[in-house]
């Protein structure tokens, strides 16, 4: 566990503070500092645990060093202004603190984005035994990781990248920027540069436009070419890239306002004299525009940021689009910040975790794409369990393994549902059969793997080039490695684990959580489980309401009877209603005198008064669970038989 100092209390700083506070096992102590102490204190009041706050001028190196020496952090997360990067790097060197930022240095008096100033610190950080991670945001940051991931998994070489940043949200304001107006407008109005055939080509800002059809219901939008700093590091570290471009969406309304502001000189960054004082017009404009932090509750819609990469795989041309979708309102619900800040802040915390846990630790100054993993952890997303993966990784290292598989002992009559392994006295795997009809062992694969990356990469490339392969770990990768004599070991697991890939297993897992004998305790203070916080009011039980042997989340209103059930947030149960052995997802509403038994109700379902949903019918294959899909509304008096699925 470590101490972290966060400098910067804007929208991104708020997200970073929220996300760090959710991971106490890494961030033992947090200090949030800014020139404006009141803003730090405001953010601190929103967090689930106490953090320190401090006032600091990031331009003042001695003041920053004094704060570091007093707090003694292992890492500084810099989410202040890009102008302050070099001063903060100097302070880290003097105080002996590791450094991380989300955007490269930019001189205050010149709109010039360039890594050279920060790369020049490499030897000084290396000699001090300190690490500086540059551009650990989304773009730069995650987009660089996407390019690295693409090269490792989809290409033998990449020759073209188009980084595309789309904000399809709307805040309803005539003109506002979603992050610091000064930085935003400087970035947008700067001369455009793109990389082509070994050189930078300059064109006027936003002069090149095209349409791009975005996924997840966003649809076609105009994108404009501009310069962004990650292209500089990517073409340096991936010399095969022949062409690199960065694109961003802008509404016609934004561009028209920006044009007028440019025409009247309000985007200038040089000083002008006004009433006997020198002011910078863009800084004055920033003061009169809406504070980006105020846009969070107003902004609706989504962002889509990703990379379109083109290259060669197996002698053939290939194109891949890797992207992320983030919903403004979902981001605000969790962190009181819209998606622009969220998508920058979360990667910053991820980079910090990688540094503080030692997964990434290399003295010097580095960009995100320079970190090549030595090991890869692969997990399944439909399993319920708690596991310390560091123990599994330690075993993998100790055995010098190519692959380590987590296993659990299952009843013999259930073994045919799993990949079954046999192992010798040293835990080395001797046999693997995917879902055997007559299993010879009861050691079942949990779908949790640690691979040595170099070995896995070779296997994945060979598997993709095999036309007979089904491209499946259990059917192709694992048996192939075992056949070829790879060093493969089992990591036994003997606590709670359930595969919730079926309706009945999902229902059973929730019912298990109600048992005091369940090894997976949600209230274990030594191993907290974090999920999205809906920030709803406390649940309310009316005088006529009763709750027995159940879990009821915040925001629920209970006027009926709840027994042996799990209620997610904001569920409403009317007077006289009965809910037994059921799972009610967020926003479900149960009308008066309705009965819900042995059922799973998805989000925002509505059950009418007097309705009868499900029942306790049991057949030889187990309990019949009734399922009502998201958003379905059933009328008063409706009857749904046990085992029915609607939607």
Identity of the highest mean pLDDT range in 120-134, 303-317, 345-359: 120-134
Q: How many CB atoms lie within 10 A of CB 562?
A: 28
| For range 89-103, the mean pLDDT | 97
pLDDT reported for residue 295:
76
pLDDT band at 89 (very low <50, low <70, confident <90, very high): very high
Q: Which is more confident, 116 or 32?
A: 32
Please tell me the least confidently modeled range out of 55-59, 72-76, 82-86, 263-267: 263-267
Cα 356 to Cα 99: distance, rounded to the nearest angstrom:
11
pLDDT band at 618 (very low <50, low <70, confident <90, very high): low
Burial class (CB in 10 A: 0-12, 13-18, 19+), 284: middle
pLDDT reported for residue 534:
81
| For range 66-92, the mean pLDDT | 96
pLDDT band at 423 (very low <50, low <70, confident <90, very high): very high
User: pLDDT by residue (tens digit) across 543-556?
Assistant: 999 999 999 999 99
| For range 564-568, the mean pLDDT | 97
Query: Is the pLDDT confidence value at 619 over 90?
Result: no
Q: Which is more confident, 535 or 482?
A: 482
Query: Is the pLDDT confidence value at 269 over 90?
Result: no
Please tell me the least confidently modeled range out of 223-232, 253-262, 397-406, 482-491: 253-262
- Six token digits for residue 534: 């809906």
| For range 465-480, the mean pLDDT | 90
| For range 566-575, the mean pLDDT | 97
| For range 39-60, the mean pLDDT | 96
Please tell me the least confidently modeled range out of 278-292, 386-400, 550-564: 278-292
% the chain with pLDDT above 70: 98
Please give the backbone phi and psi of residue 83, each rounded to the nearest 5 degrees, phi first: -60, -25
% the chain with pLDDT above 90: 68
pLDDT reported for residue 620:
52
Query: Is the pLDDT confidence value at 469 over 70?
Result: yes
Query: Is the pLDDT confidence value at 539 over 60?
Result: yes
pLDDT band at 530 (very low <50, low <70, confident <90, very high): confident
| For range 493-510, the mean pLDDT | 91
pLDDT band at 275 (very low <50, low <70, confident <90, very high): confident
Please report, to the nearest 10 degrees, the dihedral formed by the alpha carbons of residues 263, 267, 270, 274 taken in order: 80
pLDDT reported for residue 622:
62
Cα 319 to Cα 300: distance, rounded to the nearest angstrom:
31
Q: Which is more confident, 298 or 34?
A: 34
Strand intervals (E) in 91-130: 98-101
Helices (H), 216-364: 230-237, 252-263, 281-288, 328-335, 339-356
Apex CA 612: angle with CA 608 and CA 616, to 5°?
150
| For range 524-534, the mean pLDDT | 77
Please tell me the least confidently modeled range out of 92-96, 259-263, 414-418: 259-263
| For range 5-32, the mean pLDDT | 95
Place of tokens 């002011």: 279
Cα 603 to Cα 534: distance, rounded to the nearest angstrom:
13
Query: Is the pLDDT confidence value at 324 over 70?
Result: yes
User: pLDDT by residue (tens digit) across 220-249?
Assistant: 999 999 999 999 999 999 988 999 999 999
Label the pairing between strands 383-385 and 429-434.
unpaired
| For range 184-204, the mean pLDDT | 89
pLDDT reported for residue 111:
65
- Which of 363, 294, 361, 351 lies closest to 78, judged by CA? 351
| Average pLDDT across the chain, whole number | 91
| For range 12-35, the mean pLDDT | 96
pLDDT band at 571 (very low <50, low <70, confident <90, very high): very high
- Which of 47, 41, 39 lies closest to 17, judged by CA? 47
Please tell me the least confidently modeled range out of 84-88, 251-255, 365-369, 503-507: 251-255
pLDDT reported for residue 242:
95
pLDDT reported for residue 527:
78
pLDDT reported for residue 339:
93
Residue ranges and CATH numbers for the domains of the chain are 2-138+346-370 (3.40.50.720), 142-333 (3.30.360.10), 375-499 (3.90.550.10), 507-646 (2.160.10.10)
| For range 558-564, the mean pLDDT | 97
Predicted TM-score (pTM) of the model is 0.64
Q: How many CB atoms lie within 10 A of CB 632?
A: 15
């Amino acid at each position: 566990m470590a101490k972290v100092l966060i400098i910067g209390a804007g929208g991104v700083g708020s997200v970073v503070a929220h996300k760090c506070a959710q991971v106490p096992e890494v961030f033992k102590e947090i200090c949030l500092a800014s020139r404006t102490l009141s803003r730090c204190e405001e953010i601190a009041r929103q967090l689930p645990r106490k953090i320190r706050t401090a006032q600091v001028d990031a331009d003042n190196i001695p003041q920053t060093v004094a704060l570091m020496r007093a707090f003694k952090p292992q890492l500084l997360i810099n989410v202040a202004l890009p102008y302050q990067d070099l001063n903060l790097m100097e302070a880290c060197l003097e105080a002996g603190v590791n450094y991380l930022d989300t955007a490269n240095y930019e001189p205050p008096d010149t709109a010039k984005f360039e890594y050279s100033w920060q790369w020049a610190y490499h030897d000084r950080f290396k000699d001090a035994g300190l690490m500086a991670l540059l551009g650990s945001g989304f773009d730069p940051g995650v987009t660089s990781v996407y390019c690295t991931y693409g090269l490792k998994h989809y290409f033998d070489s990449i020759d073209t990248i188009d980084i595309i940043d789309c904000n399809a949200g709307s805040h309803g304001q005539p003109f506002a920027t979603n992050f610091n107006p000064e930085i935003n407008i400087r970035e947008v109005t700067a001369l455009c540069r793109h990389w082509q055939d070994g050189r930078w080509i300059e064109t006027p800002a936003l002069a090149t436009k095209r349409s791009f059809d975005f996924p997840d219901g966003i649809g076609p939008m105009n994108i404009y070419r501009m310069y962004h700093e990650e292209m500089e590091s990517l073409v340096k570290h991936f010399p095969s890239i022949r062409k690199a471009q960065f694109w961003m969406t802008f509404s016609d309304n934004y561009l028209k306002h920006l044009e007028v502001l440019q025409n009247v000189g309000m985007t200038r960054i040089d000083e002008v004299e006004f009433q006997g004082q020198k002011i910078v017009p863009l800084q004055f404009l920033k003061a009169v525009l809406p504070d980006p932090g105020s846009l969070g509750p107003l902004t609706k819609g989504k962002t889509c940021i990703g990379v379109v990469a083109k290259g060669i795989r197996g002698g053939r041309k290939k194109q891949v689009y890797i992207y992320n979708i983030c919903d403004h309102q979902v981001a605000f619900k969790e962190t009181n910040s819209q998606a622009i800040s969220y998508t920058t802040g979360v990667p910053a915390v991820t980079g910090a975790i990688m540094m503080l846990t030692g997964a990434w630790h290399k003295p010097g100054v580095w960009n995100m794409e320079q970190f090549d993993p030595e090991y890869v952890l692969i997990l399944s997303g439909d399993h319920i369990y708690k596991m310390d993966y560091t123990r599994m990784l330690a075993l993998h290292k100790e055995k010098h393994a190519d692959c380590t598989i987590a296993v659990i002992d299952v009843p013999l009559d259930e073994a045919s549902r799993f990949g079954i392994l046999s192992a010798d006295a040293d835990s080395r795997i001797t046999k693997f059969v995917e879902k055997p009809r007559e299993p010879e062992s009861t050691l079942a694969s949990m779908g949790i793997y640690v691979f040595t990356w170099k070995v896995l990469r070779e296997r994945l490339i060979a598997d993709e080039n095999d036309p007979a392969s089904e491209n499946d770990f259990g059917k192709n990768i694992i048996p192939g490695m075992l056949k070829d004599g790879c060093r493969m070991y089992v990591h036994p697991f003997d606590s709670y684990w359930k595969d919730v890939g079926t309706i009945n297993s999902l229902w059973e897992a929730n019912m298990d959580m109600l048992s005091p004998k369940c090894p997976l305790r949600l209230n274990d203070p030594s191993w907290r489980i974090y999920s999205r916080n809906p920030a709803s009011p406390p649940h309310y039980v009316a005088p006529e309401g009763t709750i027995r042997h159940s879990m009821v989340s915040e925001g629920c209103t209970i006027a009926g009877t709840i027994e042996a059930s799990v209620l997610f947030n904001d569920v409403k149960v009317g007077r006289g209603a009965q809910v037994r052995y059921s799972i009610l997802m967020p926003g479900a509403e149960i009308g008066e005198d309705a009965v819900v038994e042995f059922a799973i109700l998805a989000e925002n379902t509505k059950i009418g008064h007097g309705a009868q949903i499900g029942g306790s019918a049991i057949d030889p294959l187990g309990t019949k669970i009734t399922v009502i899909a998201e958003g379905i509304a059933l009328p008063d008096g409706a009857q749904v038989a046990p085992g029915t699925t609607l939607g």
